Structures are given as structure tokens and as C-alpha cells.
Amino acid sequence: MKNIYLILSLFFFIACSETDENPEIQEVDTLPSKIVTSTKNGNFFGSKTMYYDGNQVKNISFSNAQELSAGSVDLMYTDGLLTRINQFDGDGVLFQVFDLEYNSDKRLEEYTVSRNAENWASKKILDYNSENTIEISNYNGDLEEQDEFVGLITYTRDSNNNITKVVTSDYQIVYEYDDKNGIFKNAEARDVLNLLGLLNGPLNRGGMNNAISYTFSNGRVTDHINLEYTYNSNSYPTSVVQMSPEFGEGQKLEFIYN
């Protein structure tokens, strides 16, 4: 379980329905410009910096604990829809590309992840149903054809499109959310980016709101992590600390807004 927690901590750096009882959320056009991660001892662990054109996320750049480049992501849009994502390593070399396709309702219906240097690609086909779940069928292959079925992943979302459950044949993840403003609430293509895991990472799959707990189980182990936030006067998070019942305080993230 310790290894699982460590892996999730590393990924955490990289990648509710409103009722009368909830406090009013102020509408402020706010987006984070930088997220800084530190260890539980307060040491700098890394950061990611977001660059925007209006509310479109155009680039995300990562740095590691030595403050050197740990890669970057370029995002491209067509008529307001996110259509391509280029991922670069720390040396600026393109190593992975996402190509996204939409149906006539402008809903994401398929995307392909490819790595030219490896002659590898994976196609994801999305199926939406009436229970607010999305089933994604995964097919692997080469750059020309992806026809080897490798698994199904099911996402359940709440009325705010926060992902509340992720289920595969190997594991299940369950999330709970606050009623505050999500860190990337105002980002264009937010729900698509969130589905791809490119905004908050696996510990927080919220869009409108913020995950306050994460429970991973695979039939052998169960790992639970609480996420404890501080908020500014406009109900946006300014920081979050990972808390594990087994390991105590983990990494801390600080959010700097534009």
C-alpha cells in the first residue's frame, strides 16, 4: 500500500449539485496560473505553469524538484473544441499526441493517443448513457490501425460533471466533492480535459468542484486519501494537503491565480 500511496503522490503533482443548503458560489472569472507542490517537510517538489488565451488552456509547463523542465503540453482548439494535444519531454521532444473527434452535438466521441517513435497508438471510443456514465472502450495497435481490445473503463459523473467513480476490471476509484469553486472551473473544454486527466490528476477529477476524498480499491488493498483545502474569499482553493490515515500528511499544493 505504501508504494501505491507514493505513486499517487507523484501523479498528484503531474496529472455537486447545488441546493439551498449550500453557500452561494460567487461567479469570478478566475483561473490558476501556477500550481506549486511541496513535500510534507516544506521542500519544493515541482510546479506546473498554465498559459491561456482567454479561458482556453494553451500550454502547461512542468518543472521538477531541481527547477528544471519536466516537459510541457500544448493544446490546440478548433471552433472552441479541443482537437489536439502535443506532449513534450523535458528536452522539448514531442513524444505523444492526442487527437480528439466530436459528434454533431459537439460531444467528445473518440480520441487517439499516439507515439510515433514507437509506432504505437491507442484509440478510445466513448459511449454516453442515461445514468450519467461514460464507457470508454480501449483499443491498441500501431499508427495505422488499433483493433486489439484491451479493456473498458467506466466513469460516473454527478450533476456538475465531477467524476465520482472510475471502474475498470482491475480497480475502482470513488471520489467525494466539496461545494466550492473548482480550481479549473472557468477553463474552456474543462470537462474534456478533466476526463483526460490533464487538469488535476488522479486524486481530483472535479471540474465545477474539488475532490475532498479519494478511495482506491482493487480487491486486495484499499487506499483512502483525504484532501484538505484552504479557500480564498471567492471560494476558490488556495492550497490543498493530502492526508492519509496510514501515512499522515503528504504533499501540499498551492494555487496561484491570474
pLDDT digits (tens, 9 = 90+) for 61-91: 999 888 888 899 999 999 999 999 999 999 9
**Has residue 59 been placed in a domain?**
yes
**Has residue 22 been placed in a domain?**
no
In CATH, what number is assigned to the domain containing residue 48? Answer: 2.40.160
Distance separating alpha carbons of residues 112 and 131, to the nearest angstrom: 25
CA-based angle 163:17:189, to the nearest 5? Answer: 50
**Has residue 237 been placed in a domain?**
yes
Q: What percent of the chain stands above pLDDT 70?
A: 89
**Has residue 176 been placed in a domain?**
yes
How many domains are there within the chain? 1
Contact criterion met (CB below 8 Å) for 132 and 121: no
Which pLDDT tens digit goes with each residue over 26-64? 444 699 999 999 998 889 999 999 999 999 999 999 998
Rg (CA), the chain: 18
Structure-model confidence comparison of residues 79 and 130, the more confident one: 79
Closest CA to 184 of 129, 253, 127, 241: 253
| DSSP labels, 46-78 | EEEEEEEETTEEEEEEEE-TTS-EEEEEEEEEE
Provide the residue type at 93 as one letter: V
The answer to whether residue 23 scores a pLDDT higher than 70 is no
Provide the residue type at 76 as one letter: M
**Has residue 20 been placed in a domain?**
no
Average predicted confidence (pLDDT) for the chain: 88
For the entire predicted model, the pTM comes to 0.84
Distance separating alpha carbons of residues 182 and 200, to the nearest angstrom: 10
Domain containing 52: what range?
A: 2-15+29-257
Report the pLDDT value the prediction gives residue 204, as an integer from 0 to 100: 85
Mean local confidence (pLDDT), 136-148: 97
Mean local confidence (pLDDT), 91-102: 97
**Has residue 21 been placed in a domain?**
no
**Has residue 131 been placed in a domain?**
yes
The answer to whether residue 24 scores a pLDDT higher than 60 is no
The answer to whether residue 15 scores a pLDDT higher than 60 is no
**Has residue 193 been placed in a domain?**
yes
The answer to whether residue 2 scores a pLDDT higher than 90 is no
